[in-house]
Structure 1
Amino acid sequence: MYLNCHTAFSFRYGTLTVQKLFDEARRCGVHTLVLTEINNTASYLEMLRLCHEHRPGADGLTLYGKEPYVLDVAVGVECRGEDNALLYIAIARNNAGFEELNRFLSRYNREHKALPERAPVFDQVFILYPLGRCAPEVLRPYEYLGVRPQDLGPLTLYAPYQEYADRFVALHPVTFASKTDFNMHRLLRAMANNTLLSKLSKTQEAQPDEIMLTEEELRQRYARFPELIANAEALIAQCSLDLRPGGDQNKKHLRGSRAADLAYLTEETWKGFTRRYGHADEAVVRTRIEKELDIIHKKSFASYYLIAYELTQYATQRGYDYVGRGSGANSVVAYCLDITNVDPIKLDLYFERFLNEERASPPDFDIDFSWDNRDEIYQHLFDLYGEQHVCLLGTHVTYQRRSLLRELGKVFGLPKDEIEALADRNEYTPDREDIAPLILRYAERMKDLPSNMSIHAGGVLITEEPIYRFTTLEFPPKGLPVSHFEMHNAEDFGIFKFDILSQRGLGHLKETVRHVKRNRDAHVDIHQFEAFTQDEGIKDLMRTGRTVGCFYVESPAMRMLLGKLRCDDYLTLVAASSIIRPGVASSGMMRTYLERFHAVRRGESYASIHPMMDELMRDTFGVMIYQEDVIKVAHHFAKLTLTEADVLRRGMSGKYRSREEFQRVADRFYTSCRAQGYDEAVIKRVWYEIESFSGYSFAKGHSASYAVESYQSLFLKAHYPLEFMVGVINNFGGFYKTEFYFHEARMLGGQISPPCVNHSEYLTTIEGRALYIGFVHVKSLEERIAREIAVERGRQGAYTSLDNFLRRLPLGLEQMRVLIRMGAFRFTGKTKPQLLWEAMLFFGQSRTKQPAGMQTLFDTAPKEYPLPTLQRNAQEDAFDEIELLGFPLCDPFQLVSGGHVGDTAARELVGCVGKRVSILGYVVTTKNAWTQKHEMMYFGTFYDRHGEVFDTVHFPIVAKQFPFRGRGFYYIEGKVVEDFGVPMIEVHGFEKVPMIDKRAELPELPVGMA
């Protein structure tokens, strides 16, 4: 009877979670409703899942022991125009109607057009117009007029339309559950319209009475016109959507049949076995392959493997590097097919994490491509399987507290500084005691509600049936189609993703190889993994934490962890890649691992939780650090089934944590462990370790894949450091800002030069040991000019003078000023003031000359004019660089005001443990963290006057007293502490040091980088 129900997926309009709407229906005794989000279909799968889980089976019991309730849900869309005007409500009669509706919405999304005011012709869709928008006599047979309770008075005016009585239906929208929800709705509408709440137009709001009523209450509202209720009931009785959780909606086969797919997969696997393992009869490997192929056959997953296989073959043919990672690396079949490059036998990877007979969902392949290749990979999938069957996976961005406080602050009209104080520190002035608590309260209520649709990091859906049978498609600007539902809902209904991911690390690997070839005329093979594991240069970089720029091992936390482990082997790096993750690190398990690691190296024993834990996690000293450890412990230690064990593993993602399914298995864990006779303290400790993963751990195969790529980066940095740093810089990715990568290149012996019109390209280039900064890094320089400089130089040769440059490139005076201030014409031997004067003369005379950019027949030198003496201090270049690049190219310590640099250098800290020191540092990066008491603290990374890096920790009291104040120099006082031999400064005092006046004389400080 309810034909128009919203949830918060009617973005910036609805207020109810999907669960709350279900609960409201149960509270009111409503057994049928139509879910109609505004211009989207994002929520329907979640609602269908809830309905399925609460529906009693033949035995009267529900799935996962939930309280039974039968709710039948039809699906539609509330179609609104750009001005928020309600156009009509479209309701799918059945699955065919839902596909019609999805195609209709998708077409307008693709064309980025507003929906038409009159609905198009449909075959299996009902249309409801609001009363007054459309005359009854022009309605098509499947079109109706919706009458809201407030319309009942005017409805008497429609007496002449008695012959159309069956065209009018009761329409009571549902948007809220309470008056508070209505207030929240008004705040959302003000945010959506970027206006003050006091200025929000009533046309932008819903009616305050859009609250679900009991069936009896609704009938009383329409007591004078009971036929309206009867018409609504008759309409909704004709609507249903036949789609239930489970099943398999994915591409069924690639080679004509599933049997043919399996035969081809088997053939290709054994070919790969010969290539990977040689011709010897490897009994262990053969047994493992046969086991995997048997499970793949039983689960009908051959097509899933073959799609990944075809994709990686295509990439290889195109010369694109890729990394197959995730739990897919646990499969020997995937290794034999070259989908992954990690040997599961050698690393003893747990296949059941990837695939087992009890697992309902397909396995998970994560395949990384370089960021500049992924678009072509996406397009290949669309071309191969057809646009009707492929889309990118959507995701739903949720409101977060700080962003909400900022938006709500604007809605209530607070000044910017007060908004920032409220968002950052929960602080407000006494005269805001009426508004600020209100903002804080509503921000808490609105937190985690969906705010908008976005795109999953790499998910691609490939379905057997047309994708429109399941979702409307969104078309972001210049993008590929994206589903309205997200990953977990898709998986619930048997639509499983391929993760086609993008990363910068692969880009800097391939670019480094190119630079080595061009700069040194040397060919580099970065696929010699076995040789890399024995490379002393790589071992030295890892042991000392000198890994800046290297994939996944360059962050301050990872650099310190490698130093604490004295890491110099592959297996330790694999472990480090996972224990650095937040769940393992914050639970104390990282420290436990470190203590046990060093104890074993010293030949000592350690206190064990339980002998079976040590047996299951032999490589990691009984500490759970990988996702499959959850499955191992749940299955072998707690004796749960593999299905139950995988529920626990998935539950740690957070999505399932609140579901009854997860709680039931969690209860089973305790019951089963007690049945095994384990001590209660042991059970609680093991469960604590399982809980600590919280979605932030890696599968071992994932860590192993990452570690392989880390070794490739480390090899290039160890042997071709400058080319490697150029590769990192040009791929614009990594933990640090570009400035620090140039600094690292300088520390490695590079000579960093400003952009030069006769040497630089759009990207940074290397000539010998000289690095010429690319024009892409120059702020305010148009991309067209930045690219054309090198292109024109390639066509006509080097530029001979400023005048020659101006005659060859079309640009204005402001762009020339940028290039001159950047030092791009230093080859002329003239000062910047002289060059600026010449440029102004050129443009001043341009009316009597041919336009800039037009090549003359004879390149004659321009007449030289006597210029006045133009003064310029040396440090002005540095300030030009700061303005145009974001950082200086000189030693930045020359720009510090005053000469006090402290009593210690970074290289001396290891010998000062326990001592109080002072040091002047230049900020590299900072990281905020929260203590268990929810107090803010910081970690900092700096470099000293010698260019060497050191790290700091700022505990809450100090962090509050001495906050960071942006980039620049800080005078730091504190005590040197160490952890497993790695020093850092525990800060006690912290003060920002100003830079010199750019017009002052350059100070002669006895400082400078080594």
Structure 2
Amino acid sequence: TVHDIVNFARSQSILCQGRGSAANSVVCFALGITEIDPDRSTLLFERFLSRERNEPPDIDVDFEHDRREEVLQYVFQRYGRHRAALTAVVSTYHGAGAVRDVAKALGLPPDQVNALADCCGHWSDTPPAVERLREAGFDPDSPVLRRVLSLTGQLIGFPRHLSQHPGGFVISEQPLDTLVPVENAAMAERTIIQWDKDDLDAVGLLKVDVLALGMLSAIRRCFDLIHGYRDQRLSLASIPAEDLATYEMIGRADTIGVFQIESRAQMSMLPRLKPKNFYDLVIEVAIVRPGPIQGGMVHPYLRRRDKKEKVTYPSAELKEVLQRTLGVPLFQEQVMQIAIVAVDYTPGEADQLRRSMAAWKRHGGLEPHRLRLRDGMRANGYSDEFAAQIFEQIKGFGSYGFPESHAASFALLTYASCWLKCHEPAAFACALINSWPMGFYSPDQILQDARRHQLAIRPVDVRASTWDCSLEPLAGAQPALRLGLRMIKGFREDDARRIEAARGHGPFVDIADLGQRARLDSRAQELLADAGALRGLAGHRHRARWEVAGVQQQLGLFAGLPRQEEAPVVLPRPTVGEDLQADYLSVGTTLGPHPLALLRGELKARRCRSSRELLEVEHGRPVSVAGLVTGRQRPGTASGVTFVTLEDEFGNVNVVVWRDLAERQRKVLVGAQLLKVDGTLETEGEVRHLIAGRLSDLSDLLSGITVRSRDFR
């Protein structure tokens, strides 16, 4: 079945990649479901097939995000909607949703309902904290609010509604409605069963995961762009392996936009781990995860890799299990193998342990394993400390267990995206923007990164832009990236396609000619003017808006009357600040000066250093930095760190905000667009963090940017 689906996708040039233990088996490699050679990794057979399991293995396949619907419809057509359906997922209440529904039911006004929900963290599973309630102006001791909080606590974790699984297909030999309740989905041409995906194993129904992955869309678009301007057709299989320049780029943490290792936590790890080959990438993908972090495995592995700590093994028997990770268990399969070797689990029992890892937060069931691990290891001569460490890692895998085979599948896409960023940066950046939304970074951040790499970026222009961003040849260099009309907020693709078609019959003479030939209404013309896309026909934004208004007047009450020749109106050019603000409002980015370049004098007066000046600061020194907040990332770790990414005209600064400071200055942390951080610089090799001690909101400075073009140097 999976082979059939993958063959269809490839026949339609839809990029896909299998992942997981079964997908990385020899059979799936031979069938072309995955590109990972199983000889390059150590598979645990019982991870996906065992006598106790007594069922076929799940095989997950990722497809291009924006073409997965073609694959879904193929499955419905191939097997029939009477025998194929998507499975459901029971969505449960989190803190914000629970407090919102309880407050509504108790009759609180909408503004209070919203304010209460805002007091919860985005994925919090607890009622709002008393301190946050007081901060928002609520009285936690009022009878109504106490009732709201009490009922909220009872509702969290309770089923809220049945939703559609993103891609889990149930395929049956018999008509599905003879086995399970079936209904039409909200989306056209889709059918779903009314059972949760976790109930399928119990009744033995076959599930095939047809999943979506944005990076596959970006990679396929990148391949198409390269073929368009270089006439070279690349594929995942033909990208040169083990490229030195690619690994050097990865070691510098120059990984904005790539797959899996683009987060601030991963970028902080890269200069320490310095991957030098594919298996190092497999480890990198898996190591910054709750399992290894919570189990205390990360630092021992790094010390051993740097030869600062001797590589040791708990026993000779476990050396074979742990040798590839220097004696430190990092992968889910290794935990299973430890249970087999050190605790005398059968392979099938080890698979049951794996299933318990994944389900313990929802259903419990790990306690018997904890006792058996401790007693079994003690009986076989292992320390209680080692048993406790392994159990902590098992609990971490409950949050996000990463099997080695899964990490290997992802590492293949990680390497491919890194190679493209290293050797085809213009095509890669262009493809990322055309595939957005995806990943950690906005188009603005990707473009700012591209400019720091000396790529030529050209603005949206009706004379040259298509709907998507595109590439324009440059002699002896990477091609220039031309921003597409898709970048204009609110602009319709149909209007863009008509502009492309009209341009094929000759260049536009003026704005009136553009509007007439492309059949653009007043809204579309105003959006183009605001975005600066009419500069080539009008000169600048102010002139473009004036001319658009004139064209609309001619098409309105005064249509049909002779056009009156008037003396040209002299309009002042927009200031740099006006252009900058209009760019961000209309296009979400600017190709002019970075906002902080205009504020550098003001920031220096406040003793704020730039990201470039931080390179001269020694470890442990106090420093103040200001930057635009481009990311607030809270990893799922017990340490309670919030990573904040600040951007200025020279680059990014990674800020570590500890939990107590985040709680004390939550409003500033969450609300500031321009953030000043007073803290201490920490360096470890090439890794540089600013440990925050105080946060200040400088967002009001952004509204004061009024510098004129001639004043900017």
TM-score over 0.5 (shorter chain): yes
Aligned pairs (5 A) from 1:491-530: 491-528=201-238
Match of 2:14 in 1: 320
Could you tell me which amino acid in structure 2 is paired with residue 939 of structure 1? F
Write the distance in 2 (CA, Å) between the matches of 1:952 and 1:582: 20
Checking the alignment, whether the CA contact within 8 Å between 1:406 and 1:423 is kept in structure 2 is: no
Could you tell me which amino acid in structure 1 is paired with residue 15 of structure 2? D
**Paired residue for 1:868, among 553, 569, 575?**
569
Checking the alignment, whether the CA contact within 8 Å between 1:330 and 1:354 is kept in structure 2 is: no
Write the distance in 1 (CA, Å) between the matches of 2:565 and 2:262: 52
Match of 2:476 in 1: none
Aligned pairs (5 A) from 1:276-425: 307-412=1-106, 413-414=108-109, 415-416=111-112, 418-420=115-117, 422-423=119-120
Write the distance in 2 (CA, Å) between the matches of 1:780 and 1:682: 57
Residue 325 of structure 1 and its aligned partner are, at CA, apart by 0.8
Could you tell me which amino acid in structure 2 is paired with residue 719 of structure 1? H
Match of 2:623 in 1: 917
TM value normalised by structure 2: 0.89
Match of 2:124 in 1: none
Write the distance in 2 (CA, Å) between the matches of 1:373 and 1:990: 44
**Paired residue for 1:893, among 596, 603, 624?**
596
Checking the alignment, whether the CA contact within 8 Å between 1:938 and 1:954 is kept in structure 2 is: yes
Checking the alignment, whether the CA contact within 8 Å between 2:172 and 2:205 is kept in structure 1 is: yes
Checking the alignment, whether the CA contact within 8 Å between 2:576 and 2:709 is kept in structure 1 is: no
Residue 589 of structure 1 and its aligned partner are, at CA, apart by 1.8
The answer on 1:589 being equivalent to 2:290 is no
Aligned pairs (5 A) from 1:710-725: 710-725=414-429
Write the distance in 2 (CA, Å) between the matches of 1:641 and 1:862: 90
Write the distance in 1 (CA, Å) between the matches of 2:368 and 2:663: 44
Residue 910 of structure 1 and its aligned partner are, at CA, apart by 7.5
Could you tell me which amino acid in structure 2 is paired with residue 481 of structure 1? T
The answer on 1:638 being equivalent to 2:367 is no
Residue 708 of structure 1 and its aligned partner are, at CA, apart by 0.9
Write the distance in 1 (CA, Å) between the matches of 2:637 and 2:19: 33
Q: Which moved more, 1:477-486 or 1:561-570?
A: 477-486
Match of 2:274 in 1: 566
Write the distance in 2 (CA, Å) between the matches of 1:761 and 1:614: 58
Match of 2:510 in 1: 801
Are the structure 2 counterparts of residues 589 and 479 from structure 1 closer, same or farther at C-alpha, using a change threshold of 3 Å?
Answer: farther
Structure number with higher relative contact order (C-alpha < 8 Å, ≥ 6 residues apart) = 2
Residue 628 of structure 1 and its aligned partner are, at CA, apart by 1.2
Residue 591 of structure 1 and its aligned partner are, at CA, apart by 2.2
Write the distance in 2 (CA, Å) between the matches of 1:792 and 1:545: 44
Could you tell me which amino acid in structure 1 is paired with residue 225 of structure 2? H
- How many residues in Structure 1 have an aligned counterpart in Structure 2? 682
Checking the alignment, whether the CA contact within 8 Å between 2:471 and 2:481 is kept in structure 1 is: yes
Match of 1:845 in 2: 554
Match of 1:681 in 2: 385
Residue 546 of structure 1 and its aligned partner are, at CA, apart by 0.5
Checking the alignment, whether the CA contact within 8 Å between 1:728 and 1:734 is kept in structure 2 is: no
Are the structure 2 counterparts of residues 348 and 420 from structure 1 closer, same or farther at C-alpha, using a change threshold of 3 Å?
Answer: closer
Write the distance in 2 (CA, Å) between the matches of 1:689 and 1:997: 48
Give unpaired runs (5+ residues) of structure 2. 122-127, 474-478
Give unpaired runs (5+ residues) of structure 1. 1-306, 852-860
Aligned pairs (5 A) from 1:686-701: 686-701=390-405
Checking the alignment, whether the CA contact within 8 Å between 2:90 and 2:196 is kept in structure 1 is: yes
Could you tell me which amino acid in structure 2 is paired with residue 394 of structure 1? A
Checking the alignment, whether the CA contact within 8 Å between 1:403 and 1:423 is kept in structure 2 is: no
Are the structure 2 counterparts of residues 684 and 431 from structure 1 closer, same or farther at C-alpha, using a change threshold of 3 Å?
Answer: closer
SS state at 1:681 partner: helix
Checking the alignment, whether the CA contact within 8 Å between 2:538 and 2:544 is kept in structure 1 is: no
Are the structure 2 counterparts of residues 656 and 969 from structure 1 closer, same or farther at C-alpha, using a change threshold of 3 Å?
Answer: closer
The answer on 1:771 being equivalent to 2:481 is yes
Match of 2:441 in 1: 736
Write the distance in 1 (CA, Å) between the matches of 2:619 and 2:209: 46
Checking the alignment, whether the CA contact within 8 Å between 1:625 and 1:697 is kept in structure 2 is: no
The answer on 1:544 being equivalent to 2:252 is yes
Are the structure 2 counterparts of residues 910 and 323 from structure 1 closer, same or farther at C-alpha, using a change threshold of 3 Å?
Answer: farther
Aligned alpha-carbon RMSD (Å): 2.8
Deviations 1:621-654 (A, max 9, x none): 2222222122211112111112211111011112
Could you tell me which amino acid in structure 2 is paired with residue 596 of structure 1? R
Aligned pairs (5 A) from 1:876-887: 876-887=578-589
Could you tell me which amino acid in structure 2 is paired with residue 959 of structure 1? A
Write the distance in 1 (CA, Å) between the matches of 2:431 and 2:610: 34
Residue 829 of structure 1 and its aligned partner are, at CA, apart by 4.7
Are the structure 2 counterparts of residues 587 and 981 from structure 1 closer, same or farther at C-alpha, using a change threshold of 3 Å?
Answer: farther
Deviations 1:250-299 (A, max 9, x none): xxxxxxxxxxxxxxxxxxxxxxxxxxxxxxxxxxxxxxxxxxxxxxxxxx
Are the structure 2 counterparts of residues 971 and 864 from structure 1 closer, same or farther at C-alpha, using a change threshold of 3 Å?
Answer: farther
Deviations 1:869-904 (A, max 9, x none): 323323211111121123333222244385324245
The answer on 1:831 being equivalent to 2:535 is no
Deviations 1:766-787 (A, max 9, x none): 2134322222221232343233
Match of 1:14 in 2: none
Write the distance in 1 (CA, Å) between the matches of 2:459 and 2:683: 39
The sequence identity of aligned pairs, in percent, is 25
Checking the alignment, whether the CA contact within 8 Å between 1:722 and 1:748 is kept in structure 2 is: no
Checking the alignment, whether the CA contact within 8 Å between 2:641 and 2:657 is kept in structure 1 is: yes
**Paired residue for 1:978, among 670, 675, 683?**
683
Write the distance in 1 (CA, Å) between the matches of 2:255 and 2:537: 39
SS state at 1:396 partner: strand
Checking the alignment, whether the CA contact within 8 Å between 1:876 and 1:998 is kept in structure 2 is: no
Deviations 1:778-804 (A, max 9, x none): 12323432333223323x233221111
Residue 367 of structure 1 and its aligned partner are, at CA, apart by 0.7
Could you tell me which amino acid in structure 1 is paired with residue 354 of structure 2? R
Checking the alignment, whether the CA contact within 8 Å between 2:169 and 2:209 is kept in structure 1 is: yes
TM value normalised by structure 1: 0.64
Write the distance in 2 (CA, Å) between the matches of 1:757 and 1:684: 64
Residue 755 of structure 1 and its aligned partner are, at CA, apart by 1.5
The answer on 1:626 being equivalent to 2:323 is no
Write the distance in 1 (CA, Å) between the matches of 2:192 and 2:360: 21
**Paired residue for 2:500, among 782, 790, 797?**
790
Q: Which moved more, 1:713-722 or 1:673-682?
A: 673-682
Checking the alignment, whether the CA contact within 8 Å between 1:909 and 1:976 is kept in structure 2 is: no
Write the distance in 1 (CA, Å) between the matches of 2:712 and 2:611: 14
